[in-house]
Chains A and B, each alone.
Chain A
Amino acid sequence: MDKAFQGEHLLPGHLGQAFVILSFGAALLSTISYYFATTNTNKLDNSWLRMARLAFYANSISILGVVVCLFYVIYNHYFEYHYVWSYTSRSLPVYYIVSGFWNGQEGGFLLWTFWQAVLGNILIRRAKSWEKPVMTVVSLSQLWLASMLIGIQFLGARIGSSPFLLLRNSGIDAPILSQLDYLSFIKDGQGMNPLLQNYWMVIHPPTLFLGLASVVVPFSYAIAGLWQKRYKEWIAQAIPYALFAAMILGTGVIMGSLWAYESLSFGGFWAWDPVENASIFPWLIVLGGLHVLIVFKNTGHSYFTGTMLILLSFVMVLYTSFLSRSGILGETSVHSFTDLGMFWQLVSYIVVFLGISVWLLIARWKELPITKKDEETYSREFWMFVGAIFLGLSCFHLVLVTSIPVWNAIFGTKVAPPTDLVGHYNVIQASFAMVITILTGFTQFLKYKKTDITRFFITTGLYLLCAALITIPVVYATGLYKLHFVFTLVMLGSIYSILANGKVLADALKGKFKLAGSAVAHIGFGLMLIGALIAAGTRGVVSKNEQGTIAVSGFDKSSGIGDARENVMIYKNEPVKMGDYTVTYLGDSVAAPKRYFRVDYKRYDNDGKIAEEFVLRPNVLTNPQAGSEPSPVPDTKHFLLHDLYTHITALPVAKQPTSSESEEAAAHGESDDKNYDPPVAHQIAVGDTIRFREGFIVVKALVREKTLQNIPLTDSDYAFGAKLEVVSNGKTYQAEPVYMIKGKNAFDFARTVDDAGLKLMLTKIIPDKNKVEITVYQQPENKKPWIVMRALDFPYINFLWAGTVIMIIGFLLAIFRRNKELKTT
């Protein structure tokens, strides 16, 4: 019999696990039923369809059940569950408890299967004659996702990983877990990685997973079209969904990059990390596929390419998931994801869906409506097709390089990515971007099927000339021309694309409003590229103690872990000139788990007046885990045309004593002299000035004290206070050290001015000379509080974010248009 462990709440876990199994079973039944409903030749027999729908509803409801159970155990802090213990803690605010839900991989799968279920329910309502074959594919995908959550041993291998795994069964090597009362020792969970405690964690994963999940819809339509031999019909149906997938996936990816930019400190919005690259594979392919589908819809050309790209886009979703979850990227990615030991299960997901796609294409090859006629050279369809191919090539390059660890695993090689990886990606991807932007530009002047050639060349040439005239001042003003020539060409392409699409938009506003969607999306895309190009390419390092910002040589070359030669150490209250700014570290404050550092930026105009002043508060997050160092979080001042980004890169190792502590130490008479340079005694009169490293001290007055804290003073005792005014780095502080004669003993009470790093003592009174002796202890440079920080200037980065928003609007307009077309035809 099992031992009875005390204090466990097993019911929600059992219930949740039952729902997981149920969702798997229901997905299986739904797949089989939809399959037979599709192949059933008796049109009047709806029994399979009814069963399939019921099974799919059961699947959806059990997924909801899993979600509720998981949320219940997380919300109630049931740390007997490994998932709850690993990713949450009692101190987490509620909105992070929500995001603790998808902190682990199991939660990610759950989110994915949840969205897929939502999309499935929409399809059941909307797909009509397509429901049976399309839902067969969606259900099959649900089946695989459900299997990822099962977490049972089957024929010696573990299938999936359950979010309801108990801590004591999780394989953690700790004897305490076998004690019956182990839960009374586990008071709190591990908590969420502080870097994830950010509002982006609440909205980014659901968006990205909705994007990934929605790629299954056009894929299912493509499979259904091939399977049911309705080769041409599926395309018009799939276009709105493909637009939706491209829109949401793009939004999710950009959200991730905005998150990285705002709150992670690698100093940028895109680092070509394998996990980041993997997230855009499906986006590039679905975007390419979408364009070819539109070509086919309008002209009947390029059927095979369009179908293949749509099929490939979902395979890419699965491949992305494999790359980031299998642990294979260990040596190339900074994103460490736990390897849950589901390597082959993830591979099987890819193999099955790739296999079905390839097999259907081969089996139906002879019947595919492939045109034998060549496209016209001067037709929109031909160049749209070329553009889609280049999107595919861009993805091909990313896949090729990002998958180096996969090639190593397959072929047993030991190839490492290029040493200058960032430069490699930048130059090659920029080349593709250049071709694609130019194509999105001049294709707008072409018509489907046939175009008047002379007019086309005149307009294209005219717009290209305008674009060049704009590009030249832009690249000179931003300094982009100093970099690899290809970046200037991308700039030209983007500006050209914006001009050409701007013309289309202007025409659209005059009447042909249905064309606005693509024009707006292309303009947004162009703006995004311009923003990314200038911000990343001419990123200025402000934290260099020298004049002016310079173009980053590292844009062509690997810029190291991110902060090579870009750090500046500054002492508290000592202004340092960096670029246009005078930067001062003012102090720090703690609001657990964050410790904020106030960094003041001042810019003076030519007359020496302050033209601009702001305070940034970069902070470090204390990690709850023992021995872990705090994680830096940047702070950014956003201007309309540029951003000033600052983060902490190093701090003094030992904790700086807070001012109250040092005062206390002084009050207790403890010697903290070792923290100071050897003292210097000055014999001076009232009104005189003492100089020290960063300023001066004026002796304002000498006063006889009536009382002295809690020391009783009699008439025969003397206590004198020296009123001192300390001016350090332009700031004024007051201090009053005291000298006391009590009985036959003399005492001196030092006063510290922490901000100036001073300890001041009144050590002697010399009445015959009318002078006093002030002893000045000054902290050596390295005992003063300091920070090492890195400040970067990102010019025109708002173009990137604004471009994204515009692109999303364009996608939305296009979705409305295509939906309307579906209804009218």
Chain B
Amino acid sequence: MSQGTSQKAKSSVAALLRYRKNRDRVIELILLMAGLVAVFTTVAIVAILVYESSFFFSHVSIKDFLTDTMWTPLFSDARYGIMPLVSGTLTVTFVALLVAIPLGTIIAIYLSEFATHRLRETVKPILELLGAVPTVVYGYFALLMVTPFLQKFIPGLPGFNMLSAGLVIGLMIVPYVASVGEDAMRAVPRYMREGSYAMGATRLQTALRVVVPGAFSGLAAAYILGISRAIGETMVVAIAAGMQPTLTFNPTEPAATITAYIVQVSLGDLPHGSIGYQSIFAAGLVLMLMTLVFNVIGFFLTRKFREAY
């Protein structure tokens, strides 16, 4: 082999290497852009909500927004107090949690501490299916099955009410609470259970006094996840709870939540840039802030009670 050809081969190998390295750099850049879509989405959400709400708040003072007890932006006598929507949202969420937290916790404890391996592996995917049911179907369930059923026990219960919406949302978030809670309890190391058994504790005692406290941070996270879901749930309340904003904490009354209001406005034909159009962004901003508050509480709860194993 002559000197020239080997030189030539070397340089073509070098060229190939350079090409592949450059190609890698270009590809990395493209992949990075895809990763940035997530960041961009968050920034865009905040930007859009704040930008559109800023027009709303140039019409409505923040004091009125927070203290007025009427929310009637679509009437000629428009009032802009967010409180009725917040009270509706909180009431529905509270009812939902009354269902989801006990049921979800019991299922989590049962699956993690009592169920056989086979039952757990069969039931978990089915339970996750419950969480995959479209929310509009749950709305149908609340309006046409749960409400008529409740009316047998609570005479005078209106056809639209927050109680049945809340109960159904609670049922809907049971799988989330159960699934996250179970994961947390299974992360508690085996030797802690064995220590407890060695002291003569039964399964239930071990579960309630050793495993549940040990998994508290995970359980708290599961509850917070449930709260966020309940606050943001839209279709069930839009269908079953009625759409009149009313300042009440009584679950047997009809009322509107923040999300239901946004749906109600979107169903109509509001011109872009009108005060009604802007009001849904203000409502959305409040919704985001409420979810944020719970997420922050969840973050601190988790940090405070985190056990290091």
Co-complex (A, B): no
**What residues make up the interface of B, taking CB atoms closer than 8 Å to A?**
none
